[in-house]
Amino acid sequence: MEIRVTSRHTEISDEIRKYLENKVKKLEKYFSRIVEIHAILDKEKYRCSVEVAIQTNTGKIVAQHENQDMLSSIDLVINKLERQLKKLKEKRRDLKRGGKEDKYLITPEVLADQTVKQLPKISDVNKIFLEKMTIDDAVLKLNSVKRNLFVFLNSSTENINLLHKNQDGSISLTILEIKK
């Protein structure tokens, strides 16, 4: 792990440099794949700014803080970086383990529990021309056709009616109305 320290508008004392390097080295316990650390220390009048960029094998993490004291700025930046590195390590661990479990996630086990029925395919299409007739004429027509179902337009009510021949030989009448 390479540590670079850059100063802007000020000279860095050996004490501050060693303090920063010791703090930064401790970050390796939170994430072991740190490639490079670049710290930029800036001082303008009473404002001390610390920015630390960490290059890992997965990307770059940056934290910055401004304060009146350089050492407290370093501490606060290190705290921010610790949180970010912990979060990155946790993300990587979760991805390695297959991600966090989501209680709304549909897994193959859930699909196996809930049998999903597929709709049947339409095998053939029949076109029916409605004829105006009475119910008695429709019953005679139902008996003459080979099908068990007959649809007609009732001449007395102007509604579509459906006649169905049941297995016991009886006939059921269904009156279809258009909902308005």
Each residue's pLDDT tens digit, 10-30:
888 899 999 999 998 888 888
Q: Give the residue extent of every domain in the chain.
A: 2-96, 127-180
Topology annotation, domain 2-96? Double Stranded RNA Binding Domain (3.30.160)
Integer angstrom CA distances of residue 41 from 17, 36, 45: 10, 16, 13
Q: Does domain 127-180 have CATH number 3.30.505.50?
A: yes
Q: Are strands 132-133 and 60-67 parallel, antiparallel or unpaired?
A: unpaired
- Decide if pLDDT at 35 tops 80: yes
More confident of the two residues 83 and 122:
83
**pTM for this structure?**
0.52
Report the distance separating Cα 165 and Cα 180, nearest Å: 29
